[in-house]
Amino acid sequence: MIRRMVVMLVLTGVVFGGIFGFQAFKSKMIRKYMSAGQPAQTVSTTKVRYEQWQTQERAVGTLRAVRGADLAPEVAGIVQAIRFQSGDSVKAGTPLVQLNANADTARLKSLEAAAALAASTYRRDAEQFKVNAVSQATLDADAAAAKSTQAQVEEQQALVAKKLIRAPFDGRAGIRAVDLGQYLSPGTKIVTLQALDPVFADFLVPQAALPHYRVGQKVVVVSDSFPGERFEGRVAALDSKVDPATRNVKVRATVRNPKQRLLPGMFATVQTDLGGPQRLLTLPQTAISFNPYGNTVFVLEEKKAADGKTELLAQQKFVTTGATRGDQVAVLSGLKEGETVVTSGQIKLRSGAPVVINNDIQPTNDAAPRPVDE
């Protein structure tokens, strides 16, 4: 038994000795590798600096005309004349479509004749009533008949007028939807008419942002139909309730559109300045590594090497970011003005890694970038 225990202890010692020896060898090799140094990585950099920052709220909006309608007849009829061309600019009251009104006009003349006869009968009986030639009842009946026939004339005049469809306001006509000789039922679309200068931009904002909005506030509308162009306007109205489903509030802005290029139904981005400008530290967005556990940057620090030379080392830092605008992001905490930050090449870095700066090619850092025509 004693011999077996001695053998077991010897074997155990050999095993543990081998493990500890391997770990010591591994640590020695790592220290040797570290002491040999690492190749410097090439990065681009920029200085952290303060800039005037105007906080903006962006929202998706839809354009609509200040006045817009799909014109349609109130009464049925056959199209007798079309007095406009698709795309015409028309004034209020301009005749657009004439429906056949021959029968209605003939009936109007008949009613006008009956009304004239009733009025003449009333005047004649009124003279006879003065000499007691007719009774009061006869005179009252004549007066009622005169008023009734006149009302019928006015009713028929209104019917005839409805056979001529006019522009209810100044605007631009769309593509006509009817042709000569076509029978139109009441409510059949003839053409759309839109007043295009100015236009409304309707957009939604969260209820938390509502205190920042007021009537008369300046807004800028941007549409992907016209890249690089900005259309200025003013907040015209705020809705009187919050949508209980989304907790958003509708805001309407009036936007100038002198060239009538913005059309109702267009998608647009509405930018609104909130408060006054602030002085904030800014960086290109490419300098920030956005992570679920926190946003980080690499800051360069100078350190003397063993041979007395100065080298640059990258150190990772956590930062708190704020709003973004164009290619820039605001840094609220974690950095100081004047620090050198890596803007590209971070993927190959870790804390303590030596770097070499090459700023021949820099990431864009424009607060309001615009597409470049090739």
Together in a domain, 209 and 61: yes
Together in a domain, 61 and 47: no
Please determine, for residue 150, whether its predicted confidence score (pLDDT) is greater than 60. yes
72-76, 139-143, 271-275, 297-301 — which is least confidently predicted? 271-275
Domain boundary (143, 162, 181) is at 162
Together in a domain, 263 and 318: no
CATH of the domain at 247: 2.40.30.170
Please determine, for residue 214, whether its predicted confidence score (pLDDT) is greater than 50. yes
Together in a domain, 286 and 139: no
Together in a domain, 284 and 353: yes
Q: Rounded CA gap, 342 and 287, in Å? A: 6
Question: CA distances (Å), 265 to each of 52, 100, 278, 307, in order?
Answer: 35, 34, 35, 69
Distance, first Cα to last Cα, the chain: 91
pTM of the model as a whole: 0.61
Domain boundary (241, 273, 305) is at 273
In this predicted structure, what is the pLDDT of residue 71? 92
Range of the domain at 236: 57-66+196-273
Number of structural domains in the chain: 3
Half-sphere exposure of 31 (CA within 13 A, CB side): 6
| Confidence at 211, pLDDT banded by 50, 70, 90 | confident
Together in a domain, 61 and 202: yes
Give bridge partners of residue 237 from the DSSP assignment.
Answer: 252
For residue 49, being part of any structural domain is answered with: yes
For residue 184, being part of any structural domain is answered with: no
Together in a domain, 231 and 215: yes
Q: Average pLDDT over the chain, rounded to whole?
A: 85
Together in a domain, 47 and 61: no
Number of H helices, E strands in the chain: 3, 20
Over the range 322-337, which residues count as b (16 or more CB within 10 Å of their CB) and which as e? ebebebbbbbeebbee
Together in a domain, 352 and 203: no
Together in a domain, 229 and 248: yes
For residue 311, being part of any structural domain is answered with: yes
Please determine, for residue 20, whether its predicted confidence score (pLDDT) is greater than 70. no
Task: State the amino acid at position 173 in one-letter form.
Answer: A
Together in a domain, 201 and 343: no
| Confidence at 305, pLDDT banded by 50, 70, 90 | low
Q: Are strands 353-357 and 41-47 parallel, antiparallel or unpaired?
A: parallel
Together in a domain, 61 and 45: no
pLDDT tens profile 86-124:
988 899 989 999 999 888 889 999 998 999 998 998 888
Q: Using only the alpha carbons of the chain, give its radius of gyration.
A: 42
